[in-house]
Amino acid sequence: MNPTHAVVLGGGLAGTLAAAALAGRTDRVTVVERDALPDGPRPRRGVPQAQHLHVLMSGGARAMDELLPGTTDRLRARGAHRLGVPEDVVTLSADGWQHRFPATEFMITCTRDLTDWTVREAALALPGVTVRAGEVDGLAGTAGRVTGVVVDGEVVPADLVVDCTGRASRLGHWLTALGAPEPAEEVVDSGLAYSTRVFAAPRGAETGFPVVNVFADYRSGQPGRSASLVPVEDGRWIISLTGTRGATPPVDEAGFAEYAASLRDPVIARLMGAAEPLTAPRASRSAANRRLHCGGEGWPEGLVALGDSVVAFNPVYGTGMSSAARSAVALSRALRGHGHAPGLAARAQRAIAEVVETPWTAATTQDVRYPDCRTTLVDRAALVPTAEAENISRWVGALALRHPVVNAAMTEVITVNSTFAALQRPEVVAAMTGAGARPALREVPLRDDEWRVVRGALPTG
Ligand SMILES: Cc1cc2nc3c(=O)[nH]c(=O)nc-3n(C[C@H](O)[C@H](O)[C@H](O)COP(=O)(O)OP(=O)(O)OC[C@H]3O[C@@H](n4cnc5c(N)ncnc54)[C@H](O)[C@@H]3O)c2cc1C
């Protein structure tokens, strides 16, 4: 039998994880990337979002460990924090403050540059994996079968091509150039913008400090204004402010602080006041939910797409990297079950569609409620709940903040470990009466010791 060759388009997080999924099940894997890939946790042009905060949910961390054993340990050895969810997360959701119940899940927090480098280093060291510097211009083959890829004008033959070129992927265009049907594209665009600043954490808060989230109330009819503070390696905090259309967060220093102070709770502004700024605020605007329906009728053999090229989410929900990692696991399992036999591509693509369904629904059903949210192809009516469904959603959302059993199920979903089916388990349904719930929290659930480390530098009053 001829040796098999896979080409991965894009050497970002999805691309390097896809390479790990392919290694060992394909004789040679070539990752094509247009940027020079740094040998360290350093920024590069192709991943501009890396300057904004990136949390890695436990569902994604487990997937990375399955593909590249020891990844989360290596991240932690390099300074990433492992925070218990919900214990080490202070969150004001649309429904109120969340109790800090003992952790049932976790998240990894560090800079995106550290995550990418740690994954890249391990993936590119696998036998048979190499990088080719270059720009992907298109696909080679026919409408029914992709047989290679065009890199800087030259055809590189492949048994399998995996598109991981991110949000700006030109997959639809490349497919129509082959005569294949263009995948349908859904967009739910709340006009979300980011403004992010990096701080040195106050002395004593360099480690062991929680994530702090103040989220918008998507049901309020007002533009969504939110902020998150995330501790990362080297004693730094990354603070990202976000706003949907009509509430773009400012990028000047005074405006940054004022915006944080004007949120539903000013806790992040107070914490920020105790920290030393290390960078100026920086903006980003590519944050719409966008999904391509790949793998259906007419999908060619020899082509798989995963990561942001297929589904990009509103990043506020923190699910993009985890969905990419779980999609790479889905590819690995499809290869294990099917090898490179005909039908692999459609089978893998269907498995990837299942992985992204819950995070997609979670993000779009909230975002569509923001003023002037723009959609294409989406059945808006299906995303907006009936009055009865709305009441149930409010009840479950509020109860999840106060009841440990409902919270644990919701946490599984939010951390990209389970589908919404987790909320239908018998013990969760039994808890829906509300018996055993704690009283609603009226104040920020930061502990005294956490306030103490920042109190000295806080404004009085
Ligand atoms: C502001 C912001 C904050 C976010 N926060 C979070 C978070 O907290 N948690 C989370 O899980 N996710 C978050 N995300 C989402 C996360 O960044 C993406 O899900 C993730 O980057 C997807 O990885 P990818 O490899 O698919 O795409 P990318 O990381 O964008 O990588 C694409 C790669 O393809 C290369 N490339 C593109 N075109 C070509 C070409 N033609 N030829 C050669 N190479 C090419 C690029 O150079 C790049 O290396 C956030 C996103 C944004 C925008």
Contact (CB, 8 A) for 157 and 5: yes
What pLDDT band is residue 31 in, cutting at 50, 70 and 90? very high
- Confirm or reject: Cβ of 100 under 6 Å from ligand 1: no
- Binding site membership of 142 for ligand 1 (Cβ less than 6 Å): no
Mean of the per-residue pLDDT values of the chain: 95
Q: For ligand 1, say whether the CB of 178 is within 6 Å of any of its atoms.
A: no
Closest protein CA for atom 9 of ligand 1 = 318
Query: What ligand 1 atom has the least distance to the C-alpha of 306?
Result: 26
| Residues 44 and 121 reside in one and the same domain | yes
Structural domain contains residue 115: yes
Give a yes or no: residue 380 inside a domain: no
Tokens of 389: 């469904």
Residue 55 Cβ inside 6 Å of ligand 1? The answer reads: yes
Q: For the stretch 68-86, what's the b/e string if a residue is b when 16 or more beta carbons lie within 10 angstroms of its beta carbon?
A: beebbebbeeebbbbbbbb
Residue 256: is its pLDDT beyond 60? yes
Cβ neighbours around 270 below 10 Å, total: 20
- Is any atom of ligand 1 closer than 6 Å to the C-beta of 113? no
- Pair 128, 169 in one domain: yes
C-alpha 109 to ligand 1 mean position (Å): 17
Residue 459: band (very low, low, confident or very high) from pLDDT cuts 50, 70, 90: low
Q: Is 334 in the pocket of ligand 1 (CB under 6 A)?
A: no
User: How many other CB atoms are there within 10 angstroms of residue 273's CB atom?
Assistant: 16
Percent of the chain with pLDDT over 90: 91
Question: Is pLDDT of 378 > 80?
Answer: no
Asked if residue 67 lies in contact with residue 325, where contact means CB atoms within 8 angstroms, the answer is: yes
Q: Would the CB of 30 count as within 6 Å of ligand 1? A: no
Percent with pLDDT over 70 in the chain: 98
Residue 384 pLDDT: 80
Residue 374 CA to ligand 1 centre (angstroms): 22
CA distance 120 to 67: 12
Q: Are strands 185-189 and 374-376 parallel, antiparallel or unpaired?
A: antiparallel
pLDDT recorded at residue 457: 54
pLDDT at residue 94, rounded to an integer: 95
For the segment 250-273, the average pLDDT, to the nearest whole number, is 97
SS3 72: helix
In a domain, 71, yes or no: no
Does residue 338 surpass a pLDDT of 90?
A: no
Query: DSSP secondary-structure letter at 211?
Result: E
> Are residues 341 and 255 part of one domain?
no
Do 23 and 127 belong to one domain?
yes
The maximal CA–CA distance of the chain, rounded, in angstroms, is: 76
pLDDT tens digits, residue range 162-175?
A: 999 999 999 999 99
Check residue 145 and report its DSSP letter: B
CATH number for the domain spanning 322: value is 3.50.50.60
Residue ranges with strand state E in 86-171: 89-93, 96-97, 105-109, 129-133, 136-141, 146-151, 154-157, 160-163
**Residue 101 beta carbon below 6 angstroms from any ligand 1 atom:** no
> Per-residue pLDDT averaged across 37-54, rounded?
94
pLDDT of residue 1: 67
| CA 137 to chain CA centroid, nearest Å | 27
Closest CA to 64 of 254, 279, 258, 323: 323
Instruction: Match 């997080």 to its residue by tokens.
Output: 13
Question: Within this chain, do residues 203 and 276 fall inside the same structural domain, yes or no?
Answer: yes
Model pLDDT, residue 386: 87
Query: Does residue 152's CB lie within 6 angstroms of at least one atom of ligand 1?
Result: no
66 domain-assigned: no
Last residue of a domain, one of 302, 330, 364: 364
For 207-225, how does the pLDDT look when each residue is reduced to its tens digit (9 = 90+)?
Answer: 999 999 999 999 999 999 9
Judged against a pLDDT cut of 70, whether residue 456 lies above it is answered with: no
Please give the helix or strand (H or E) that residue 108 lies within, else none. strand 105-109
Beta strands (DSSP E) in 340-411 are 374-376
Whether 376 is in a domain gets the answer no
Burial grade of 104 (CB within 10 A; 0-12, 13-18, 19 or more): buried
Which secondary structure element, helix H or strand E, spans residue 356, and what is its range? helix 344-367
Q: Does residue 158 share a domain with residue 100?
A: no
More confident residue, 145 or 457: 145
pLDDT at 377: 75
Q: What is the structure's pLDDT at 382? A: 79
Residue 346 forms part of a structural domain = yes
User: What is the pLDDT confidence band of residue 461, given thresholds at 50, 70 and 90?
Assistant: very low
The answer on pLDDT for 399 being more than 50 is yes
Paired strand residues for 8: 31, 162
- Measure the CA–CA gap between 272 and 279, rounded to whole angstroms: 13
How many angstroms does the Cα of residue 324 sit away from the middle of ligand 1?
Answer: 10
Same domain, 268 and 312: no
Query: What is the extent of the structural domain holding 33?
Result: 5-54+111-188+287-364
Which of 428, 446, 447, 444 is closest to 436 using CA atoms?
428
Classify residue 202 as left (phi > 0), alpha (psi -120 to 50) or beta.
beta
Note whether residue 64 is domain-resident: no
Question: Are residues 306 and 202 part of one domain?
Answer: no
pLDDT for 458 = 54
In a shared domain, residues 204 and 225: yes
Identify the residue whose C-alpha is closest to ligand 1 atom 8: 54
Question: Which residues are within 8 A (CB) of 97 and not within 5 positions of it... i.e. 6 or more apart?
Answer: 90, 91, 401, 440, 441, 442, 443, 444, 445
Q: What are phi and psi of 93, to 5 degrees?
A: -95, 180
For residues 31 and 11, is the Cβ–Cβ distance under 8 A?
Answer: yes
Question: What's the total number of domains in the chain?
Answer: 2
321 contact partners, CB below 8 Å, separation of at least 6: 13, 54, 56, 60, 115
Note whether residue 77 is domain-resident.
Answer: no
Per-residue pLDDT at 286: 77
312 and 278 co-located in one domain: no
289 — phi, psi (to 5°)? Answer: -80, 130
User: Which residues, 6 or more positions from 307, have their beta carbon under 8 angstroms from its beta carbon?
Assistant: 10, 12, 13, 14, 15, 18, 164, 166, 320, 324, 327
Which residue matches tokens 């967060």?
Answer: 249
Residue nearest to atom 52 of ligand 1 (CA): 49
Q: Are residues 164 and 296 in the same domain?
A: yes
* Termini Cα distance of the chain: 76
Cα 166 to ligand 1 centre (Å)? 5
Q: How confident is the model at residue 390 (pLDDT cuts 50, 70, 90)?
A: confident
**215 and 356 together in one domain:** no
- The partner residues of 154 in beta bridges, in order of sequence, read 151
